[in-house]
Amino acid sequence: KQEVTQIPAALSVPEGENLVLNCSFTDSAIYNLQWFRQDPGKGLTSLLLIQSSQREQTSGRLNASLDKSSGRSTLYIAASQPGDSATYLCAAENLSGTYKYIFGTGTRLKVLA
């Protein structure tokens, strides 16, 4: 059974710092790995989707990498801003024959001005 873990659960950094959020998964048989952002009281917004054949995806200050062999994905945020404060979740879509996403519990990020 796929399990997705995100460590740390919470992180505070000063503005301008580069940071890395970690996501690990136990079953490498995945279609893709997605990173989402969730603001308090809101739904999830997709940030980056990495298909299983890809190694990384970039969007602006965000870069996500995928290493299926080690069961790891990282989300790199460059030059962090207070507006980046949110909870970041990763989700793995399994190759199990049904389209099921397994989510991690998220990393709550606070960027201090």
Residues of the shown chain interacting with other proteins in the complex, contacts defined by CB under 8 A: 4, 31-32, 34, 36, 41-46, 49, 51-52, 89, 91, 93, 98-101, 103-106
Would you say 18 or 105 has its CB closer to other proteins? 105
Residue 113 beta carbon to other proteins: minimum distance, rounded to whole angstroms: 27
**Residue 113 has which token pair?**
């001005």
Would you say 80 or 102 has its CB closer to other proteins? 102
Would you say 14 or 40 has its CB closer to other proteins? 40
Residue 91 beta carbon to other proteins: minimum distance, rounded to whole angstroms: 8
Q: Tell me the residue ranges of DSSP E strands in the chain.
A: 4-7, 10-14, 19-25, 30-38, 44-51, 56-59, 62-67, 72-77, 86-94, 101-103, 107-112
